[in-house]
Chains A and B, each alone.
Chain A
Amino acid sequence: MSADNRKPDDTDGTTGHEWDGIRELNNPLPRWWLYIFYATIVWAIGYVVLYPAIPGLDEASKGLLGWSSRREVASEMQAVGQARAATIERIEATPLADLRHDRELMRIAVEGGRSAYKVYCVQCHGSGAAGSPGYPNLNDDDWLWGGDLAAIEATLRHGIRATDDESTRNSMMPAFGRDGILQAAQIDDVVEHVRQLSRQPFDAAGARRGAAVFAENCAVCHGPAGAGMREVGAPDLTDAIWLYGGDRATLARTVHGPRGGVMPAWEKRLGPATVKQLAAYVHSLGGGE
């Protein structure tokens, strides 16, 4: 424009298109812009040739490089596994008693346990480990089989009444009602006694009669004072926590016939390192002893 403005322009600066007297101004693009546009086309062709791009019925075209997102994920997962291997080995090699004194390793174990818990344990114990009737709350400080790290690990390794593990934690409360050991009235009495033990409202006469029944039939496992016995997984009947419920109907139903909850033995499925991490996590929830 500028250098030529002494001469009149031989063009009028329009594209030459005209519609009903309206002419289109030509505002030319820089040529390098056009070349960049061509370059993007070349890039796109190269991309389509090298990478999966053209959708087919079952899968997209393979691309000359043979790249796939699944393979990339697999190799990344492998890299993560390799990066973690040394730490996992250390956790496996460290005895539980020492693990809790190694702050850093314990922290890693708790985090590892947290993610394993989310895969294997939430189905029964819930995502917050708060349990539900029949499935213990892992946050509280009431433990059927013991709440220190070793006891938790043993429970995890061998399970409870697991059929595929010989060292599983095994015990069975007699079916006092179903097997005719106690009469219905006796069961009602012993329920009143248990309610007295756990400081809930109770019927005094029934509880008095129930005390005798309790001493004869229940104290062997639950202890004379009802404090339970961890060796056989007998619950403490004096505390505020009930696995199935502490109301009269539920208690009577429990005395009538045992529940016999089952937990799988995890060692064979998960291996000792993961079990150890799960023990650390459960212990860290707040009730660990």
Chain B
Amino acid sequence: MSTIDDPLVQGSFYQKRRKIFPKRVHGPFRSLKWAIMAVTLAIYYVTPWLRWDRGAFAPNQAVLVDLAHRRFYFFGVEIWPQEFYYVAGLLIMAGIGLFLVTSTVGRAWCGYSCPQTVWTDLFMAVERRIEGDRNARIKLDQAPWSAAKIAKRTAVHASWLVIGLLTGGAWVFYFADAPTLLRDLFSGQAATVAYASVAVLTFTTYVFGGLMREQVCTYMCPWPRIQGAMLDENSLVVTYKAWRGEPRSHGTKKADIADLELGDCVDCLACVNVCPTGIDIRNGPQLECITCALCIDACNEVMGKLGRAPDLIGYTTPQRDVAEAAGRPLAPLWRTIVRPRSLLYFAGWSSIGLAMLVVLSMRDRLDLTVSHDRNPLFVELADGDVRNGYTVKLLNMEPRPRRIELRLEGLPGATMWQPLQESVRTRVLTVDTRPDGLEAIRVLVRAPRDLVREGSVDFRFVAREVGGTERSIEGARFNGPEA
């Protein structure tokens, strides 16, 4: 630590967090953010309560991650663990979608719909409601502790904790039947993991939304570090048009203004005061900027009052900014959005989506897997016949019980049976499968020795739904002693 006191060192290696007191702002971007907050929070809180009828044998919750039974339900779609590639596909789509959005309209995800942004915005609104706007909050912060200050601070933190509790409370409903879980949560009958999840999410929501805020974006999130590779000269980003604003007119006497070549920026700091990450957009694009565009609203308000043209701070691309500064005519805005890069991202994004939809609509709901006994490979029987053992897994992926007929195809003269069920030897086994279940049965197949003169012979197991059309075929091998 001695280095910190070293006279040579001009600043500390460690930085105390600078307190940020964002000022309230009005304008189209603020309204858009309120709207997006309302929609995203509504989706988050309402989704687990939507119902979806899947019949008597499956849960009726529209969106449910059933960890206990290893199933994921999403409206009409049911995903088994082995179909996890759909989720992987969604994640790839989310990744490419983020590239697409970032390369065209910058960090729109960060500024408008990232949960960190939405919840921080909500926490700030609560804080503002209780403690007042920027100046009141700064004053309260600097004031000595008093009963009034304690009361206000307690109210703020209590409200944050309540929001955190509701957030964590809503989260667990995605993992169990929501009405049942709600009742269990209040009657103390829910699983320990449910209470633990609520507690952890309450804590993280409170800490991330109330205490850490922009620190999460600046220091913990990898995305701001990646965005540099995503943005190019055609990306729409929140930009201070320095060519228009400089030099700033702050502190210049009214009498001198007429004589000086001054820019539009009056250095009122409105853009700085509203910034939720506490930066100055006039320093150019920065890592901390989440492009929430609140500085645009703030600046336009001032420009309007002064009777100057709006959009001194505005959404523009670096290329358009340069062109505008030079007075060159601007290409239509859609040209900056529709360009090879964004089209390529869109093509990738949509083809993965289409491919997944096609695969999803064509996937089997009756699956058959066969694993052959390896030890022993075959058994010679007293009368000279040869017997092979198989473990046959029948997957009934529909939420209703189904009767499946398992047949031998090929292997003339062979018969099969289930040793534990002591069934008779036959060429057709009937298996009742549970709804949405896997039936693993052991099947022994017996065939005359003459059939396997070569040492092995290939055949097929065919599973077919009784009274239905769906079927599944799986190849298998029958082994015997080489003659």
Contacts and interface: CB of A to CB of B under 8 A. Distances in A.
Of A2, A30, A126, most B-chain CB atoms within 10 Å: A2
B2 interface: no
Given A128-B376, A130-B375, A5 B215 contact: no
Interface in B5-40: 6, 8-17
A203 interface: no
Interface residues of A, number: 44
Contacts of A6: 250, 267
Interface stretch (A80-88, A133-141, A211-219): A133-141
B379 interface: yes
A16 B382 contact: no
A65 interface: no
Contact of B384 (A16, A240, A285, A286): A240
B455 interface: no
B242 to A, nearest CB: 13
A6 B252 CA distance: 13
B382 A2 contact: no
Of A30, A103, A130, A284, most B-chain CB atoms within 10 Å: A30
A30 B219 contact: yes
Contact of A141 (B215, B376, B382): B382
Interface stretch (B53-61, B231-239, B278-286, B430-438): B278-286
Interface in A64-111: 100, 103, 106-107, 110
A103 B423 CA distance: 13
B175 to A, nearest CB: 26
A231 B389 CA distance: 30
A141 B381 contact: yes
Contact of A240 (B15, B279, B382): B382
A28 B420 contact: no
B215 A29 contact: no
B10 A2 contact: no
A11 B11 contact: yes
A225 B15 CA distance: 99
A14 interface: yes
B464 interface: no
A286 B444 contact: yes
A170 to B, nearest CB: 24
B66 interface: no
Nearest to B212: A32
Contacts of B419: 284-286, 288
A141 B382 CA distance: 6
Contact of A29 (B15, B267, B373, B444): B15
A33 interface: yes
A289 B11 CA distance: 88
A284 B14 CA distance: 70
Interface residues of B, number: 38
A284 B420 contact: yes
A57 to B, nearest CB: 37
Contacts of B280: 1-3, 5
A286 B380 CA distance: 11
A236 to B, nearest CB: 7
Interface string A28-55: 1111111000000000000000000000
B14 A29 contact: yes
Contacts of B272: 2-3
Interface string A8-26: 0001111111000000001
A241 B283 CA distance: 91
Interface string B369-395: 000011110011111100101000000
A128 B375 contact: yes
Contact of A110 (B219, B379, B420): B420
A142 interface: yes
Nearest to B275: A2
Contacts of A241: 380-382
B328 to A, nearest CB: 30
Contacts of A236: 382
A239 interface: yes
Interface in B396-431: 419-420, 422
B11 A13 contact: yes
Nearest to B271: A2
8 contacts: A16-B10, A26-B13, A32-B215, A107-B420, A130-B379, A141-B381, A240-B380, A240-B382
Given A1-B283, A140-B379, 13 more contacts: A6-B267, A13-B10, A16-B8, A16-B9, A26-B13, A28-B13, A139-B387, A139-B389, A140-B387, A239-B383, A240-B383, A240-B384, A287-B381
